[in-house]
Amino acid sequence: QVQLVESGGGLVQAGGSLRVSCAASGRTFSLYNIGWFRRTVDQEREFVAAVGWNGGSTAYADSVKGRFTISRDNAKNTVYLQMDSLKPEDAAAYYCAADFGPKRPGKPAPPVSSREYDYWGQGTQVTVSS
């Protein structure tokens, strides 16, 4: 089991940058795939980015490729999402989520479906002004 807490959200001008963090508790953090998802009012959670538990493989939504970078620091039990060139369309509540990697054979890439993630943080709000 892992507990997740997001931080770093705030207000930023379009074109600006922001880094949100996902801090986790637990001794087995390094065994979890960590994903970032976002949600606006009346919307389902949308995949943003994910980083794998084994070797740091990453995946990105097409809408953020080239602008967002996900990384992890297992020594700090933290995953980061660096968001550059922010657009008003990026405004949302951002959630991190954890999925126990070794439950799948073959060490696949981190999943991009929210259904695959078992543990969720409470979210951090990102607002982008025009």
Instruction: Count the neighbouring beta carbons within 10 Å of the beta carbon of residue 76.
Output: 12
pLDDT (tens digit per residue) in 39-90: 998 889 999 999 999 877 999 999 999 999 999 999 999 999 999 999 999 9
**Mean pLDDT, rounded, of the chain:** 95
Contact (Cβ atoms closer than 8 angstroms) between residue 39 and residue 97 = no
Residue 42 C-alpha from the chain's centroid: 20
> Residue 93 above 80 pLDDT?
yes
> Residue 2 above 80 pLDDT?
yes
Q: Can you tell me the distance from the alpha carbon of 60 to that of 69, in angstroms, rounded to the nearest whole number?
A: 8
Q: Can you tell me the distance from the alpha carbon of 11 to that of 73, in angstroms, rounded to the nearest whole number?
A: 25
pLDDT given at position 26:
83
Contact (Cβ atoms closer than 8 angstroms) between residue 122 and residue 6 = yes
pLDDT given at position 124:
98
